[in-house]
Amino acid sequence: MAEALISVLLEQLASIVFEHTKQAVTHVLNAEEDVRSFSSNLKTIQAVLEDAEKKQVTEARVRDWLQKLKDVSYEMDDVLDEWNTEILKQQVDEGKKKVCFPTPANCICFGQVNKAIHHHNIATKINKLNEKLTVIAAEKEQYDFHLSTIRGTDEQLTQRQRTSSLVDISTIFGREEEKEYLLSKLLRESNQDGGSSQEGKRFLVIPIVGMGGMGKTTLAQLAYNDENVTAQFDKKVWVCVSDPFDEIKIAKAIIKSLDKNETQKNSNELETLLLCIKTHVESKKFLLVLDDVWTEDKTKWESLKLSIIMQSCEEGSTILVTTRNEGVAKMMRATRSMIHLDKLSHGDCLALFNRFAFLDREEDEANGFGAIGEEIVKKCKGLPLAAKTLGSLVWHKETREEWQDVLNSKIWELEEVKEQVFRPLLLSYYDLAPAVKRCLLYCAIFPKDYDLKKDNLIELWMSQDYLNSKGKKEKRRIGQNYFESLSMRSFFQDFRKDEFENVYGCKMHDVVHDFVQFLTKKECTIIDANQRVELPDDNVRHLTLTSVPEGPLLLHFTNVKICVALYSLIQELQL
């Protein structure tokens, strides 16, 4: 959240509107220097934010530091809003026709005095916020943060899990339909499927798309190791691509898998490597699995020349791709053969949980633990990674009371969940542009399983000024683009469409909602309006009231400071 907030704030500080602000307050308290210092401190902090947001998952002191940073950033955002509103008022006043009367030279112009006082107040606030941020910037040295360079290229920050083709069949439950469909594609006798959907090519590209932890790699492993698939293809290669997309590295990995004794695998010339691959697979039926592809950059994909290489293979050759982003499938022009993984059924999810929870302690399942386990599985909402993680967690717990504690805990309060389930979601989160991150995190204001209406959501983003328009692009169009970006990365699900196949509504997976709430838990609060309304923290920025009764609504805030500073959203939600 801090990275998204600060990126937008830096844009505001550099905007033309704020240039007017600097000019207006320069004459008092040296505000222009404070503004430059504030921006400089933000940029210095921004360089370590990716690492800080990663460490906050497991380090409470980093979370506290980020919270202080967000508080100051929000306060500056408030000051900018206040002053931009004043500028708009002045522009309206200047546009009105005025009748001028002669005024004695010694007459005091109260309007000018009030304006000067207002400028002084703005400058004073900026000065105090700059002092706070200077302290926060100095504190960052305590945490040994890594500097991030180009987004996604710092291996220390990404630490993405490497995969292989090996799979433990005993830990897999469900996915029978998806596996059957995928095998039918791989074992097809002719390539009319590939010809019709992929511009007459001799090969087929099959993308498996889904949110992190949904089982994309597992499905690919099942197909790769199927005995019929092994018999069907002359050559099989598995490459974990991940991010960044390195053409040389990928090409070397393919050659090494094809022939470990090939001397040309040591070359750093892409031309040499690609010709070597082509020589090894020419006129052969070839299956290439590219696991965990992130890039939507078509130039990078085309630089591998896989289309040319695969055209030289025997007809029926296939590229199988796993990705979290539907945009990758679109870039590859393979959406018609795409497999979109949805959540597991409750039965399959329970079977997976039990496989880990009751390993070597099957007698406990019928001794009261099984009933608690079934309730715990409901928290997973069909996400295989969550079921596996929670099953492994309770395996170490020997009493029903300990299992009950897991059931009663909020999912983000469990360290194992934060470490194993949220980290894959953080990778998808990092892949978003800062402005899109802010729009995603705003969705924490909605209760779980809430029916999101696309147009209404975009209007709410607009009301928060999250959609900064550039050039001739309208804010609503930008909001549509942000919505599609989040949808393609599986942050939204259960889409509702009209008769023209246009999406007008969706939901957010419960685990994604937990993840978003974890990142914003001190800023977004949902309260039942039928109960006494007391804000749990003095950092709340967004408030949602559910079960709002008809008639007057009585609100009681115990902290007056909050009441003044709060950006509140009071929304009647039909749950």
Residue-by-residue DSSP string for 544-560: EEESPPSS------S-H
pLDDT in the model for residue 532? 62
**What's phi and psi for 292, nearest 5 deg?**
65, 60
Q: Which fold has domain 169-340?
A: Rossmann fold (3.40.50)
Three-state secondary-structure class, residue 187: coil
Domain 421-519, classified CATH 1.10.10.10, yes or no: yes
What are the pLDDT tens digits along the chain (575 aa)? 566 666 666 666 655 344 554 455 444 445 667 777 888 888 888 778 777 877 777 788 888 888 888 888 888 878 877 777 776 777 677 665 444 444 444 444 445 545 555 667 777 888 888 888 888 888 888 888 877 644 443 444 345 667 888 888 888 899 999 999 999 999 986 444 443 344 456 899 999 999 888 999 999 999 999 999 999 999 999 999 987 889 999 999 999 999 988 777 788 899 999 999 999 999 999 999 999 998 888 998 899 999 999 999 999 999 999 999 999 999 998 888 899 999 999 999 999 999 999 887 766 666 778 899 999 999 888 999 889 888 988 888 888 898 998 888 876 667 777 777 887 788 888 888 888 998 999 999 898 888 999 999 999 998 888 887 654 468 889 999 999 999 988 899 889 999 888 999 999 988 888 888 888 877 777 777 666 656 656 667 777 777 766 666 666 555 544 443 333 344 444 43
What pLDDT shows up at residue 425? 84
* Bridge partners for 506 per DSSP: 452
d(CA 289, CA 233): 12
As a whole number of angstroms, the distance between CA 21 and CA 126 comes to 11
d(CA 464, CA 460): 6
Q: Compute the distance between CA of residue 235 and CA of residue 250 in angstroms, rounded to an integer.
A: 17
**Coil vs helix vs strand at 527:** strand
Tell me, what's the pLDDT at 335?
Answer: 85
* Residue pair 485/506 in contact by the 8 Å Cβ criterion: no
Domain ranges of the chain: 2-97+106-153, 169-340, 346-411, 421-519, 522-575
Domains 169-340 and 421-519 share a fold: no
DSSP letter string, 23-76:
HHHTTSTTHHHHHHHHHHHHHHHHTTHHHHHHHTTT-HHHHHHHHHHHHHHHHH
DSSP calls for 235-303: EEEEEEEESS--HHHHHHHHHHHH-TT-GGGG---HHHHHHHHHHHHTTS-EEEEEEEE----HHHHHH
- Predicted pLDDT at 12: 63
Contacts of 306 (CB under 8 A, 6+ apart): 288, 319
**Count of positions (residues) in the chain:** 575
Query: What pTM does this model have?
Result: 0.73
**Which pLDDT score is estimated for 151?**
43
pLDDT of residue 8: 63
Q: How far is CA 537 from CA 6, 77, 283, 515, 542, in A?
A: 22, 20, 66, 19, 12
CA 455 to chain centre: 20
> What local confidence, expressed as pLDDT, does residue 5 receive?
67
